Amino acid sequence: MARKKSKKTQSRPVEKTVKTSAQKPLEMASANVDVNPADITITFTSRLGQATVSLFRMGIRVVTQTIKQSGDIHFPDVRSGDSLAVNCVCTGKVTITINASTDPPTPTTFSSGAFNTGYDVL
């Protein structure tokens, strides 16, 4: 019985991965942009509450911090075009103050209960 010859498989060229701007949108977007620190001061009048603040850049969450009493949240790398999202639950009024130029401007005061709000960094 004669053996059949096996077909030779052709080797495919190895593709090299090239980093593009789509792979690192945050780094590419940060070129030639002023970087400033931002402090978000949250003051609970009743001293009872919890607030979570998230920093977003180009729709991607960069960092999140939570506090359970009145205090400051510090973000060292805030740029024009970033967004800040605040989620809060409190038993009394709460005042939010951001030391960066934002829309809407701060300070902002909210009544007791749960709320979500956002600020665009100008």
DSSP string, 58-95: TTEEEEEEEESSSEEEEEEEEETT-EEEEEEEESS-EE
| 32 in a structural domain | no
What is the tally of structural domains in the chain?
1
> What integer pLDDT is reported at residue 35 of this predicted model?
87
Q: Round to whole Å and give the CA distance between 103 and 82.
A: 11
Q: Round to whole Å and give the CA distance between 34 and 83.
A: 15
Q: What is the DSSP letter of 30?
A: T
> What integer pLDDT is reported at residue 93 of this predicted model?
95
> What integer pLDDT is reported at residue 15 of this predicted model?
46
| 19 in a structural domain | no
| 73 in a structural domain | yes
pLDDT in tens, 49-94: 999 999 999 999 999 999 999 999 999 999 999 999 999 999 999 9
Residue 97, exposed/middle/buried by CB under 10 A (0-12, 13-18, 19+)?
Answer: middle
| 46 in a structural domain | yes
Q: Round to whole Å and give the CA distance between 69 and 72.
A: 9
| 27 in a structural domain | no
> What integer pLDDT is reported at residue 41 of this predicted model?
97
| 5 in a structural domain | no
Q: In which band, very low, low, confident or very high, does the pLDDT at 8 lie, cut at 50, 70 and 90?
A: low
SS3 25: helix
> What integer pLDDT is reported at residue 19 of this predicted model?
43
Please give the residue range of the domain that contains residue 57. Answer: 37-121
